[in-house]
Amino acid sequence: MTTALVYSEKYLEHNPGEGHPERPERLKVIVNALKRAKLWGTPKIKVLGPKPAKREDIELVHDPNHIELVERLSKSEKPLDGDTPVRKNTYELALLAAGGTIDAGRVVLSGDALNAFALVRPPGHHAGRNHSGGFCYFNNLAIAVKSMRLRTLILDIDCHAGNGTMDIFWGDNSVLYLSLHQWPCYPGVGWWDEIGEGTGKGFTINLPLYPNTGDDVYLRFVRSFFPPLVEQFKPELIGVSAGFDAHRSDPLTQMNLSSHTYYQVGKLLHEFKVLAALEGGYNLDALSHAVPAFLAGMRNQQLTLKEGATFTQKEIKEKNIQRLEEIKKFLSPYWSL
């Protein structure tokens, strides 16, 4: 199996500023960890450089007004919101992140790789058709998925609900969006009754999890939804919003996962055509464990995990399982789960 990684040192130039959690070191740590794990630049793991996305690629997903806003703010260096500063090079680097994700998709589409991981910054899943924020400018994965024109299941494992991706595919039945996230948490959407509308009704699936959910319960949710949805929806591509901020050490969230979850989620994907794009994950040490675990899993390769698996405290486990059953019942008009 061949895997493509898309990366450029240019992605380190995106700098939201002193003390900002979405910092260049995140990607440096990931690259170093992948090199140490021999998951970088081998005959079967090719590393490719990105080309910037063209304006018409971004317009597949975003309103021209929103694109112009990001371009204009880059000139004035005015922020999109309090969490999402804009620098002189933001527009250019956001185009390169989207372009790198498109390039990763193309390698999968051509059959040169079974799966690909776009190691890009800035991230994308909070960027909707006409808005962005939460450290995001353009929705890298949504743009790449649209450009590929395949029936796609997007699995979003970032700890935050991908309100941007949800917005973009809300009325679209060619993309099934499945998100696991902490609840309550930023951005405040992603309850399980939010399922899309029109022809897209039933094609958005939100799995809100209680804070402190551990590997055991998280994987139970993944295994209860992902395989039956794949079987019934029959995607030609799996898109992954690969955020690693549900790790127990993440400073922005309160979940309790270890690299075991990321390895097992990767394993579930290993037979499919996969396009993964980096989203969040803000503890550097956690990234150095979780990202190699995910990639090794996706390649169905053995990897010795240095972290112990985590379990969910009894009360939270019971509440989560009760919720899991309620969600299954709620979705029964659309899917057999």
Pattern 226-265, Zn ion, x by CB under 5 A: -----------------x-x--------------------
Could you say which residues in the range 26-65 bind Zn ion, by CB under 5 A? none
Nearer of residues 214 and 243 to Zn ion, judged by Cβ: 243
Answer yes or no: are the C-beta atoms of 176 and 261 closer than 8 Å. Answer: no
Question: Rounded to whole angstroms, how far apart are CA atoms 122 and 11?
Answer: 8
Member of 50, 280, 292, 297 binding Zn ion (CB under 5 A): 280
| Closer residue to Zn ion, CB minimum distance, 57 or 279 | 279
- Which residue's CB atom is positioned nearest to Zn ion? 280
Min dist. Cβ of residue 220 to Zn ion (A) = 21
User: Of 14, 126, 160, 260, which is the active-site residue?
Assistant: 126
- On whether the CB atoms of residues 233 and 153 are closer than 8 A, the answer is yes
Site residues for Zn ion, 147-166, by CB under 5 A, read: 158-160
Give the binding range for Zn ion (CB under 5 A) out of 36-44, 163-171, 193-201, 272-280: 272-280
- The answer to whether 39 and 296 are in contact (CB under 8 A) is yes
- Residue 98 CB, shortest distance to Zn ion, in Å, is 18
Phi-psi region of 190 (alpha: psi -120 to 50; beta: other; left: phi over 0): left
The site for Zn ion, by CB under 5 A, has a size of 6
Per the rule left: phi > 0, alpha: psi between -120 and 50, beta: everything else, 19 is left
The least CB distance from residue 158 to Zn ion, in Å, is 4
Token pair 């960027």 is found at 127
Minimum CB distance to Zn ion, residue 127 (Å):
13
Helix or strand run (H / E) with residue 209: strand 204-209
Of 263, 3, 40, the closest CA to residue 115 belongs to 3
Specify whether 126 is catalytic: yes
DSSP classification of residue 41: S
Which amino acid is present at 186?
Y
Instruction: Give the binding site for Zn ion (CB under 5 A).
Output: 158-160, 243, 245, 280
Residues acting as catalytic residues:
126
